[in-house]
Amino acid sequence: MDQVGYSPSFKKPADIMRMRRKRARSEGVSNSPQGALSTRGQSVAGTRPFSPGPLMNAPNRPGGGVKRRNPFANIENTYNSPSKRANARSEGDVDVLLDFKKRVPVEAEGENAGYGNKSALSCVEQLIQEDKTSDKKSPIAVFKDDSLFEDDLFDDGKSPALVKSPQRQAVDEAALAVPEAPEYPADWSLKTRLLFTSPQAFSWAEQPKALEEAQGLTQHCRAQYADLPHNIQEPRSCPELRCGFQQALQYWQHPSLPWLSLFPRIGAERKFAGKSSPWSNDTELQQSMMREWSVSLTSLYSLLKARLCPYFYLCSYQFTVLFRASGLSGTQGLTALLSPTTRGLREAMKAEGIDFSMPLVEDKRRSKEHSEASKPTDGEEPHSTEAGEHSDQEVGKEEEDEDEEDDDEDGGFSWLKEMGVQDQIKKPDSISIKLRKERSTVSLDHRPESVVLVEGPHTHTLINFLINCKSLVAATGSQAGLPPTLLAPNAFRGATLQTLKARSVNIKTQVHSGYQDMCSLEVMGPVMPHSLHMLTQLLRAAQKGSFSTVLYTHEPTAVLNVPVCKEAKEQTAPPPSAASGALSGCGLSPATLQQALEPASLGKAALRQLHMRSYAYTWKS
């Protein structure tokens, strides 16, 4: 007895397809009511099955069909084609898709988001069970291999919802890596550019009137801040909002050379190349500029000690220093973070008597000691040695190792003398040997781990060191003879009032298969933490609690977010209310000051994206 479907003679696939086309034309397409599929597990009009098998209108196929099977059919050219999706938009779409559970992987969202770690088949089976017990259709997404096609799915057969691709969903999850919060953490890094986007127009940020600009400058100089309503209905006609925007763009800088952009300074040789620099070959002019710069730096430090200035930045061509007043970032005294550093700079600071620490290196060492202490051997008592004793033991051990290495080096060349060829072989000098031994210290140079923390009275010694440090100013190159840039939120001696550049444009952003009108606001310049917070406070009220921000960080300053308050100091730190009262005259708004008082939590990272939805923040660092 012949097997079903067995062909005694071999035929090429093209011949078989030609015969089937002739047979289909001769038989015609059945339009009988039995050919319509309306139950779960059967195809809708205009679709084909996805697996090989008999024709849909074959006699032995239950229910019949309206079309024969295409042997080359796949998901992409059947259900996911535009014409098929347009014809299949009905309440039975979910049922049809669920019928493909053995052939098509499915990913659930919403209430079924917990299925992400399960297999695709088990997810579909559980979706089917939930669909049987509930009237609510669960949104699903159809995959082809590892890619996802974004289909219009329906909730209760009415409103369409878009399902995100895995790549886009991963990006969104990374962007919203933290739960929503009413405030974002303080970011002490310097920004070179901010890009705000929102569905609402930024017409209120356009060219201000002369009176509004004057009022904004006056408010900045007098440290006066207007109270804005929670939601502004007409931002364009709100003078307080427009004046506050001008106030947020102001900052103070020294020196000020109109034809040169003095920020950033690290890696900016090309920006200075070809620009006029009359001081480069004039020693007297260089000395005069340094004297003025020293007066400005001293003035800033005096304001910092008196808590009349919250913080300021010193930007040289090699490193950046952040000075903060007592109480900011959870500290008890003045602090200064310097990054990046080199071994030579650290040795020079030690020679001047500046006591400093390296927070990231100490945290790494502390975590290593903690891991070692958590694994005591049998019969060994738990470690109760203090950190200072640990460091003394480590220093003694290192000295012993160095002595042993010195002995090895001396003995390593003794055999040359015995052979009488010691004069013919070139031995490494002592400097090379010392550098090889200190390679672990030198390897930190110019890296984020080289950040240095100076606290308390030693910050005053650091100021004197920076004033007298000859390597602070470049001796050659396009920045030769140019003093470092000082940036501060408050006025100081020799400072010039500068304004960040801002412009608003309307753009179109691609959303799935179409485009959406969006409004953007771009702010360029050395954006300090207080300016960023003031701008977000304004956008919160003007954009009805919905906007997104992309922050472009000056990378050498990202490490300035490292925590500086240790556990022992946190126990005796003054309460935030007391610190806020002591810094009430520093020139920051109460909301900005409250954010600056919180301990740093970003570590070596900096804010990259900031989103506000329904008056709640999410961010990515």
Non-local CB neighbours of 116 within 8 Å, separated by 6+ positions? 107
| pLDDT for residue 69 | 65
pLDDT tier, 518 (very low <50, low <70, confident <90, very high otherwise): confident
Non-local CB neighbours of 284 within 8 Å, separated by 6+ positions? none
CB atoms within 10 A of CB 155: 13
Residue 564 pLDDT > 60: yes
- CB contact at 8 A, 528 and 487: yes
* More reliable by pLDDT, 539 or 120: 539
394-432 pLDDT, tens digit per residue, is: 434 444 444 444 444 444 566 666 676 666 666 666 666
Residue 316 pLDDT > 50: yes
Residue 244 pLDDT > 90: yes
DSSP result, 491-507: --TT-EEEE-EEEEEEE
**315: closest CA among 195, 459, 221, 189?**
189
Q: What DSSP character marks residue 100?
A: T
| pLDDT for residue 386 | 40
Contacts 24+ apart (CB under 8 A), 292-295: 292/254, 292/255, 292/494, 293/254, 293/255, 293/483, 293/484, 293/486, 293/494, 294/467, 295/493, 295/494
Give dist(CA 96, CA 116) in Å, integer: 22
Give dist(CA 14, CA 263) in Å, integer: 71
Residue 538 pLDDT > 60: yes
| pLDDT for residue 428 | 64
Average pLDDT in the 299-327 region? Answer: 96
Q: What is the three-class DSSP state of 619?
A: strand
Residue 142 pLDDT > 50: no
- Give the rounded distance of the alpha carbon of 480 from its chain centre: 34
Average pLDDT in the 496-502 region? Answer: 97
Is the peptide bond prior to 185 cis by the omega test (within 30 degrees of 0)? no
| pLDDT for residue 436 | 63
Lowest mean pLDDT among 53-67, 200-214, 556-570, 591-605: 53-67
Give dist(CA 575, CA 336) in Å, integer: 21
Average pLDDT in the 104-127 region? Answer: 44
Q: How many residues does the chain have?
A: 621
Lowest mean pLDDT among 54-63, 231-240, 272-281: 54-63
Instruction: Using CA atoms of 403, 409, 415, 420 in order, give the dihedral in degrees to the nearest 10.
Output: -120
Contacts 24+ apart (CB under 8 A), 552-555: 552/191, 552/192, 552/193, 552/194, 552/195, 553/189, 553/190, 553/191, 553/192, 553/606, 553/607, 553/608, 554/189, 554/190, 554/191, 554/192, 554/264, 554/266, 554/320
Sort 259 into a burial class: Cβ within 10 Å, 0-12 / 13-18 / 19+: exposed
- CB contact at 8 A, 347 and 567: no
Lowest mean pLDDT among 150-159, 196-205, 255-264: 150-159
Give dist(CA 166, CA 248) in Å, integer: 39
* More reliable by pLDDT, 231 or 188: 188
**265: closest CA among 66, 526, 523, 439?**
526
CB atoms within 10 A of CB 198: 20
* More reliable by pLDDT, 513 or 296: 296
Across the chain, mean pLDDT equals 75
Q: Say if pTM beats, i.e. exceeds, 0.85.
A: no
Q: What is the three-class DSSP state of 421?
A: coil
| pLDDT for residue 175 | 44
- CB contact at 8 A, 228 and 244: yes
| pLDDT for residue 25 | 82
Residue 280 pLDDT > 50: yes
pLDDT tier, 610 (very low <50, low <70, confident <90, very high otherwise): very high
- CB contact at 8 A, 600 and 188: yes
Average pLDDT in the 113-117 region? Answer: 40
**108: closest CA among 144, 41, 172, 153?**
153
**540: closest CA among 150, 129, 84, 228?**
228
380-389 pLDDT, tens digit per residue, is: 554 443 434 4
* More reliable by pLDDT, 548 or 110: 548
In percent, the amount of the chain with pLDDT more than 70 equals: 61
Q: What DSSP character marks residue 107?
A: E
Write out the two tokens for 540. Answer: 């919160």
| pLDDT for residue 298 | 97
DSSP result, 427-489: PPPHHHHHHHHTHHHHTTTTSGGG-EEEETTHHHHHHHHHHH-GGGS-SSSTTTTPPPEEEES
Residue 165 pLDDT > 80: no
Write out the two tokens for 358. Answer: 């390296």
| pLDDT for residue 370 | 73
Average pLDDT in the 516-528 region? Answer: 93
Write out the two tokens for 126. Answer: 């559980």
| pLDDT for residue 620 | 95
- CB contact at 8 A, 40 and 95: yes
**405: closest CA among 422, 430, 369?**
430
| pLDDT for residue 257 | 94
Give dist(CA 241, CA 231) in Å, integer: 11
Write out the two tokens for 111. Answer: 């209430």
Write out the two tokens for 30. Answer: 């059945």
Highest-pLDDT range among 28-42, 177-191, 309-323: 309-323
Residue 264 pLDDT > 80: yes
Non-local CB neighbours of 560 within 8 Å, separated by 6+ positions? 188, 189, 320, 322, 337, 339, 451
Q: What is the three-class DSSP state of 196?
A: strand
pLDDT tier, 616 (very low <50, low <70, confident <90, very high otherwise): very high
440-465 pLDDT, tens digit per residue, is: 566 788 899 999 999 999 999 999 99
- CB contact at 8 A, 498 and 256: yes
- CB contact at 8 A, 314 and 321: yes
Residue 222 pLDDT > 50: yes
570-609 pLDDT, tens digit per residue, is: 444 556 667 778 898 999 999 999 999 999 989 889 999 9
- CB contact at 8 A, 243 and 216: yes
Give dist(CA 313, CA 492) in Å, integer: 13
Non-local CB neighbours of 477 within 8 Å, separated by 6+ positions? 269, 317
Specify the residue for token string 């959406």. 516
| pLDDT for residue 192 | 96
Q: What is the b/e burial string over 14-29, where b = at least 16 CB atoms within 10 angstroms of the residue's CB?
A: eeeeeeeeeeeeeeee
| pLDDT for residue 551 | 97
Give dist(CA 591, CA 610) in Å, integer: 18
- CB contact at 8 A, 317 and 266: yes
